[in-house]
Amino acid sequence: MTNHWLSVVVFAPLVGATINWLIGRRVRSEAFIGIIACGSVGISTVIAFMIAFTEANGAALTNDAATPVMSHLWTWMQVGTFRADFGFAMDRLSGIYACFVTFVALLIHVFATGYMHGDRGFYRFFAYLNLFMFMMLTLVLADNILLMFVGWEGVGLCSYLLIGYYFNRQEAGDAAKKAFVANRVGDWGVILGIMLIFSLTGSISFFDKPAMEGVGAVESFLTVARGMPVESFTWGAIFAGGLTSAAVLLFIGATGKSAQIPLFVWLPDAMAGPTPVSALIHAATMVTAGVYMIVRCSQVYVHAPTAMFIIAIIGAATAIFAATIGLAQNDIKKVLAYSTVSQLGYMMLACGVGAFGAAIFHVMTHAFFKALLFLGSGSVIHGMHHEQDMRRMGGLKKYMPITFATMLTGGLAISGIPIFAGFFSKDEILWKTWSTASLGVANAGQILWLIGAVTALLTAVYMTRMMVMTFWGGERFREVPAGGQASEAHAHADDEDLKPHAARFDSAGDRPRHETGAHVGDAHHGSPHDEASDLTIDDDEDEHAAHHGPFTPHESPWVMTVPLIVLAILSTVGGLVGVPYALSSLIGLGDINYFEHMLEPAIAHAPGEHGAAANGGGTHQTPSASNPEWLSPPPQAHDGASPLSVGDGSHGEPGGGRAHDPHEVSMERLFTGISIVIALVGIGIGWLMFQKRPLLAMPRLLENKYYVDEVYNASIINPLKTGSRNVLWLFFDVGVVDGIVNGVGRGTREIGSVLRHLQPGFVRSYAAIILFGALAVIGYFAFSAYQVLPFTR
């Protein structure tokens, strides 16, 4: 079905960005800028939900045939057999993404109007934020992988602009460059992967397109890949130039965008940007783009078991690695940053074991509770006069009750406590990991489950630590004495985080001091065209920061707390759309896993398992390393009822028609109980460790993040700098290139200095030269005549 309202979903934020950049910078009205920014995203949200759920607009998520809604604008490029359209499509995968991305982004935009109140760069911030939404929706709704890559690069650019929003701060500038470079390192893999996919399949389209007026039919590369054989589980397949090679190349790009080992280092530093940026880009949207790409190309990955194994290993390693670092961070946003890296590892682990539906389910629930936690941390920072160090907090729950209650909800959700959203998605990933037989290595699923379980335990511990240090205990923000000397409570720490507030403002402050609402009147005094004036600092705030005297924290205004409440509700009940049959059947509800059944037609399942003949895979084969077993359910063999119209499970084949193995159901219930125990034990450990000793020192190895940045600097960055300076610049550029250019110039000058003696300016010299010239000509002709004429002999 064609519906050009889909293009409005994408372009509305671009219009908002343009208006705010061209007009907002002149009017400098926060009300005008906020209405345009929030309104444009609100339009995208409303239309996205209409297209997703209403029959008149295509009902992309609920139509019986799972037919995508298309919006073909024009043919972008067509050379030979290569064709790239500029068009958008919403199927069940992109529809889910578009709905939660636009809705969460709308809440974050509303929150940001309060958080950025008084900032002289208000128009610039929201222009960047709207531009990011345009690029993100282009990435999600693109109908081909090349247009998706345009959005992919666009969100990278916007991330650079937003992380470096405070461009006069060294920390922000360095973090923006680090993010940009790390993502570019990964993006070469995506480019090569796209080229290889076209070479193998002859297409770059995600969808089969019928012929339209003036436009021929297109076959999806996913359709072509479905008919290709499953490649062997060997390391040589990585370099064989087949689907495994393409899958690994795409995953290299995903490691950059989704912050996986070894390209995860940019995301924690990205917390230098304003907190709403962290909530939108580094929790709910951009960082999950790598997961989206892998699930979108799942038909390629199910034919590349070696690539799947690599993804599972990298995902599990990233999850536990980042979780251990999160245990020792003292900056409230850095804790959440490493938590995000860890949860992204969970999503990649799910993709690696073939649980693509569970990965997207966790993407959605993570968007709810992590956006809530980041915005909650922004509310804390706002109420604490832009303090981010948790060692200077404590006892805030009585001052900020709404922020406390909502962040507690987010903490319980990410820890995996029933009935909160994170419990269902995280538990499903752990169960699918344990029960997988697709990795081609004995007991690999059980080992990866153990890593995931330990990660879940650590998650509960560091989230409890963060909540205790922030909201419970003594009011440590009152313990800084006059003169800037460290209090007794801080005497054990010798790092820069515990220096007086004024001395460490640039490294720990979330925003320049002028951003407090108390200085709104000063915020509009600069020239509307003077970008440098966006970042001037008020003298009164300088004085406050220098003395850092006692103050009383305060709750944030309603424009910031209402989004927190809405996200807290979603973090509580948002997981109920994906309750697994093993749990819902306990209370007689049958199979009510709406999310799984809705997403099922949009994801791939391996040939040879669970009725794969309907999936183009041939007959059933015995699982082996070269022919792995995949436990994901198969797509429907024919059009049937809407996935929302599930059965009651009374006949053993609820919802999608697949019977549930009683042994598998009982085992899943057992592991669900284990997951609950792990979460409760983690919270208990965190409470016992930090409730009475919130400033308990953690291992320096973890606090310094395993010295990964130092290792990268010593092994990669500094050698590159030295090589670039001494070899490329001093030797090649200065010595060779400049040497040749300067040598030609010097040679020309020397030749000229010799020839200039032929032009002394004296007439007698010129007459002598003419005489010598004439004699030379006469002599030449005389000699020639002597050689030629016979009478001269």
How high is the pLDDT of residue 17?
96
Longest dimension (CA), the chain: 131
Angle of the 289-296 helix axis to the 122-141 helix axis, nearest 10: 10
pLDDT of residue 759: 77
CA 631, 637, 643, 649 torsion-angle sign: negative
Share of the chain residues as helix, strand and coil, in percent rounded to the nearest 5: 65, 5, 30
Residue 3, pLDDT score? 86
Q: Which residue has the higher pLDDT, 110 or 217?
A: 110
C-beta atoms surrounding 764 within 10 Å = 8
733 Cβ contact partners less than 8 Å away, ≥ 6 residues apart? none
Q: Could you tell me if 30 and 117 are in contact, meaning their C-beta atoms sit under 8 angstroms apart?
A: yes
pLDDT tens for 384-442 read 888 899 999 988 999 999 999 999 999 999 999 998 999 999 999 999 999 887 777 88
- Containing 72, the helix (H) or strand (E) segment is strand 69-79
Is pLDDT of 650 > 70?
A: no
For every residue of 383-407, DSSP letters joined together read HTTS--BGGG---GGGT-HHHHHHH
Structure tokens at 241: 């130039």
Question: What is the model's pLDDT at position 793?
Answer: 53
Q: Mean pLDDT score of the chain, rounded to an integer?
A: 83
Q: What's the confidence (pLDDT) of residue 636?
A: 39
Q: Which residue has the higher pLDDT, 529 or 430?
A: 430
pLDDT at res. 497 = 38
The answer to whether residues 254 and 186 touch, using CB atoms and an 8 Å cutoff, is: yes
Most confident of the ranges 49-63, 335-349, 604-618: 335-349
Question: Is it the case that residue 461 has pLDDT exceeding 70?
Answer: yes
pLDDT at 760: 76
Least confident of 128-137, 241-250, 731-740: 731-740
Q: Each residue of 743-784: pLDDT tens digit?
A: 999 999 889 888 887 777 788 888 888 888 899 999 988 888
How many Cβ atoms sit within 10 Å of the Cβ of residue 118?
20
**791 pLDDT tier (thresholds 50, 70, 90):** low
- Name the region of 471 (left: φ>0; alpha: ψ -120 to 50; beta: rest): alpha
Q: Where are the domains of the chain?
A: 1-63+90-143, 163-499+552-703, 704-755, 760-793
Q: How confident is the model at residue 658 (pLDDT cuts 50, 70, 90)?
A: low
**Nearest-angstrom CA–CA distance, 71 and 94:** 14
Q: Are 368 and 107 in contact (CB under 8 A)?
A: no
Peptide bond into 262 cis (omega under 30): yes
Backbone φ and ψ of 391, nearest 5°: -70, -15
Whole-number pLDDT of residue 467: 95
| Model confidence at 642: pLDDT above 60 | no
Residue 503 has pLDDT above 70, yes or no: no
For every residue of 3-71, DSSP letters joined together read -THHHHHHHHHHHHHHHIIIIIHHH--HHHHHHHHHHHHHHHHHHHHHHHH-GGGT-TTT-TT-PPEEE
- pLDDT mean over 271-297: 91
CA distance 121 to 273: 13
Residue 550 is predicted with a pLDDT of 59
The pLDDT tens digits of the residues spanning 681-699 come to: 999 999 999 998 989 989 9
What is the rounded distance in angstroms from the CA atom of residue 157 to the CA atom of residue 143?
Answer: 21
What is the rounded distance in angstroms from the CA atom of residue 264 to the CA atom of residue 255? Answer: 7
Gyration radius (Cα) of the chain, Å: 32
**pLDDT at position 521:** 32
Alpha-carbon distance of 247 to 253, in angstroms, equals 10
Average pLDDT (477-494) is: 44
User: Given pLDDT bands bounded at 50, 70 and 90, which one contains residue 792?
Assistant: low
Taking the alpha carbons of 374, 378, 384, 387 in that order, is the dihedral positive or negative?
positive
The predicted-structure confidence for 155-172, as pLDDT tens digits, reads as follows 999 999 999 999 889 999
Confidence grade of residue 62 (pLDDT, cut at 50, 70, 90): confident
Q: Which residue has the higher pLDDT, 624 or 663?
A: 663
pLDDT in tens, 560-612: 999 999 999 999 999 999 999 999 988 888 888 899 999 999 998 754 344 34
d(C-alpha 725, C-alpha 719), whole Å: 10
Comparing CA positions, the residue from 394, 402, 399 lying closest to residue 376 is 402
Rounded to 10 deg, the angle between the 145-163 and 289-296 helix axes is: 170
**pLDDT for res 490:** 38
DSSP-assigned beta bridge partners for residue 90? 69
187 has a pLDDT exceeding 80: yes
For residue 660, give the DSSP letter. P
